[in-house]
C-alpha cells in the first residue's frame, strides 16, 4: 500500500478549519501539522484550494445484494459511494433472502469482503418470529452496526407489528436499534378511504397516503418502547415536523439514548416536486409538504436531528415508470449526498463544519465506530478532498449506479469530489478508480 502526504489543504474536523498537511501511512493518519516535509517513498498530493474532509459514513443504504441484483449490487453501489465521498456505509436487511439469521447476515459480509470498495457494516433484520436470532447479535457488539426494525411495510417478512416481539427486542437488545417508523394501519386506512373517493392516483398522493400521522404514531410507539426498556434507539429518516418533539438537544450526543437521522432527499425536495419528478421521488416515508422541510432544517441545525444519510434505495427505471400504486418506492442518492449538502454550504444555509459533523463525526459517535469519522492522528485515513470551486453536473454519463438514473440528473452542484481515501488507500482520484485494495469491515468500540 502506498503512503501519501496531502499538502496545503484546509482540514475540516472537530468543528474547526485548519490549513496544513496530513501524512497517511499504513492505513492511518500519522501526522497533522501546518507543514510537513515530504518523506521518502511517500506520494505527495497538492490540496491547494481544496477542503479535506473525513469520509462520510452513510448509516442507511440498500445495496440490494443478495437477491435483487437487477437493481444494484454491493460492488456497483459501493463504488458510487466512494466517488461521492462516502467511505463507509451500513446496509439494510431487506434483501432476498432477508438478513434474518446470523448465517444470512454473515453471507452479506462475505460478499462485501470480496467486492466492496468502501468500508461496510450490515444491520441484523427483525421479523415477528426471529427474536432468538436477533438477540444472538448481542455477541457481536464489536462487529455489527445494529438491529433494524421495520415498524412499517417492507420487503418480505420484515414488518414487525407483533407487540410481544417488539417488546422483547427493545428489552433485550444490547445493540443500537434502528427503526423505520410508519404506522401500517393508518396507511391502509388512508389508502382505502382515498380509493373510495377516486380511481386514479399519482405520486402527489403519496404523502397523503403515507401521511404525517402515520409517521408520528409509529415514532411515538418506538420512543415509548425505548424509554420503557432504556433501549438505545436511532430513528431513521425523520420526515415530519410533528416527530421532532420526540428528540432533544440538551445533552451531548454520546449521552443520548434516543437519536434521529434525516435524509438528504427530505432536506432537498418537497411535495411540490412531485409535479415534475413524479415516481422518481416516491419513497417511504414520503417526501411531504414544504413546512416539514423547513422544520427538518431547523432541527438539523439546532441538534435535535443528529445524522444526515441517504436511504439510498435504487430501482430500475422500468420499476419506477409503473403507475403510482405499483411503482417501487426509493431513490438512488449515495453518489451525490455530500455534493447535495455542499450545495447548501454555498447557499449559506449550513457551514461545512456542520456538514462534516452530521455526515461523519456524529455517525461515528452514534454507532461507536472505532477509529473513524474524524481527521485525527492515529485514526483510519478515510478522507475526501473536495474542490468547492469546480462545479459538477449530474448526467447519465457520470452515474455509477447499476439502475442508471437519478432524480438529480441535470442538477449542477458547486463542488467536485476529487480524491477519496478508504483506510489509507487512494480508491478514487479525478474520475479514476483503484480497486486493487477493497474496503474493510467496520468495527465498533462498545463495552
Q: Would you report the helix, strand and coil content of the chain in percent, each value rounded to 5? A: 35, 25, 40
* Angle of the 102-115 helix axis to the 74-83 helix axis, nearest 10: 60
Q: Any idea where the domains of the chain sit in the sequence?
A: 3-52+379-388+410-433, 55-367
Q: Are 386 and 254 in contact (CB under 8 A)?
A: no
What was the pLDDT predicted at 156? 59
374-410 confidence digits (pLDDT tens): 999 999 999 999 999 999 999 999 999 999 999 999 9
pLDDT of residue 159: 79
Q: How many CB atoms lie within 10 A of CB 132?
A: 9
Burial (Cβ within 10 Å: 0-12, 13-18, ≥19) of residue 191: middle
**Long-range CB contacts (within 8 A, 24+) of 21-28:** 22/52, 22/375, 22/383, 24/381, 24/383, 24/421, 24/424, 25/424, 26/1, 26/424, 27/1, 27/380, 27/381, 27/423, 27/424, 27/425, 28/371, 28/378, 28/379, 28/380, 28/381, 28/424
Residue 263 grid cell: 435524509
Superfamily of domain 55-367: Metal-dependent hydrolases (3.20.20.140)
As a whole number of Å, the CA-based R_g of the chain is 21
Chain-centroid distance of CA 271 in Å reads 22
Spatial separation of the C-alpha atoms in residues 218 and 304, rounded to whole Å: 18
Q: Give the N- to C-terminal CA distance of the chain in Å, as an integer.
A: 32
Residues in the chain: 447
Q: What is the pLDDT of residue 151?
A: 87
**Per-residue model confidence as pLDDT tens digits over 272-315:** 999 999 999 999 999 999 999 999 999 999 999 999 999 999 99
Tens of pLDDT, residue by residue over 319-378, are 999 999 999 999 999 999 999 999 999 999 999 999 999 999 999 999 999 999 999 999
State the pTM of this model: 0.97
Residue that is written with C-alpha cell 505527495 in the block: 44
**Contact of 428 with 417, CB cutoff 8 Å:** yes
Write down the pLDDT at residue 155. Answer: 54
Mean residue pLDDT of the chain comes to 97
CATH architecture of 3-52+379-388+410-433: Roll (2.30)
> For position 19, what pLDDT does the model report?
98
Q: Could you please report the per-residue DSSP string of 40-84?
A: TTEEEEE-TT-EEEEPEEEEEE---TTT-TTT--HHHHHHHHHHT
Domains 3-52+379-388+410-433 and 55-367 share a fold: no
C-alpha cell at 265: 432527499
Sign, CA dihedral 166-153-267-191, equals negative
Q: Return the SS3 of 214.
A: helix
Q: For residue 439, give the C-alpha cell.
A: 474496503
Amino acid at each position: 500500500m502506498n503512503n501519501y502526504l496531502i499538502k496545503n489543504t484546509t482540514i475540516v474536523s472537530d468543528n474547526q478549519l485548519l490549513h496544513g498537511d496530513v501524512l497517511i501511512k499504513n492505513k492511518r493518519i500519522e501526522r497533522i501539522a501546518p507543514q510537513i516535509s515530504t518523506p521518502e517513498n511517500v506520494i505527495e498530493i497538492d490540496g491547494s484550494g481544496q477542503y479535506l474532509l473525513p469520509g462520510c459514513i452513510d448509516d442507511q443504504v440498500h445495496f440490494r445484494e443478495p437477491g435483487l441484483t437487477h437493481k444494484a449490487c454491493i460492488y456497483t453501489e459501493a463504488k458510487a459511494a466512494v466517488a461521492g465521498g462516502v467511505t463507509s456505509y451500513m446496509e439494510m436487511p431487506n434483501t432476498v433472502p432477508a438478513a434474518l439469521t446470523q448465517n444470512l447476515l454473515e453471507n452479506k459480509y462475505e460478499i462485501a469482503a470480496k467486492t466492496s470498495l468502501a468500508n461496510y457494516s450490515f444491520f441484523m433484520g427483525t421479523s415477528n418470529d426471529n427474536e432468538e436470532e436477533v438477540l444472538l447479535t448481542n455477541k457481536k457488539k464489536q462487529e455489527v452496526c445494529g438491529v433494524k426494525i421495520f415498524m412499517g411495510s417492507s420487503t418480505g417478512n420484515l414488518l414487525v407489528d407483533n407487540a410481544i416481539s417488539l417488546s422483547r427486542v427493545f428489552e433485550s437488545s444490547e445493540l443500537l436499534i434502528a427503526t423505520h417508523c410508519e404506522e401500517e394501519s393508518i396507511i391502509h386506512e388512508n389508502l382505502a378511504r382515498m380509493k373510495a373517493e377516486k380511481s386514479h392516483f399519482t405520486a402527489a398522493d403519496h404523502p397523503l397516503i403515507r401521511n404525517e400521522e402515520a409517521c408520528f404514531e409509529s415514532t411515538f410507539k418506538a420512543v415509548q418502547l425505548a424509554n420503557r426498556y432504556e433501549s438505545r434507539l436511532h430513528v431513521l429518516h425523520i420526515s415530519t415536523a410533528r416527530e421532532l418533539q420526540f428528540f432533544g438537544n440538551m445533552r451531548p450526543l454520546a449521552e443520548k439514548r434516543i437519536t434521529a437521522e434525516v435524509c438528504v432527499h427530505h432536506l432537498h425536495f418537497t411535495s411540490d416536486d412531485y409535479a415534475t419528478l413524479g415516481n422518481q421521488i416516491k419513497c417511504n416515508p414520503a417526501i411531504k409538504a414544504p413546512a416539514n422541510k423547513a422544520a427538518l432544517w431547523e432541527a438539523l441545525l439546532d441538534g435535535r436531528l443528529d445524522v444526515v444519510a441517504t436511504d439510498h434505495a435504487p430501482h430500475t427505471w422500468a420499476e419506477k415508470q409503473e403507475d403510482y400504486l405499483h411503482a417501487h418506492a426509493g431513490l438512488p442518492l449515495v453518489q451525490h449526498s455530500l455534493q447535495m449538502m455542499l450545495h447548501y454550504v454555498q447557499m449559506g444555509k449550513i457551514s461545512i463544519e456542520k456538514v462534516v459533523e452530521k455526515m461523519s463525526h456524529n455517525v461515528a459517535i452514534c454507532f461507536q465506530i472505532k477509529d473513524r469519522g474524524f481527521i485525527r492522528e492515529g485514526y483510519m485515513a478515510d478522507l475526501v478532498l473536495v474542490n468547492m470551486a469546480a462545479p459538477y453536473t449530474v448526467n447519465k454519463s457520470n452515474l455509477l449506479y447499476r439502475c442508471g438514473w437519478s432524480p438529480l440528473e441535470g442538477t449542477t452542484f458547486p463542488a467536485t469530489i476529487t480524491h477519496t481515501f478508504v483506510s489509507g488507500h487512494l480508491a478514487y482520484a479525478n474520475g479514476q478508480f483503484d480497486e486493487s485494495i477493497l474496503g474493510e469491515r467496520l468495527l465498533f468500540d462498545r463495552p
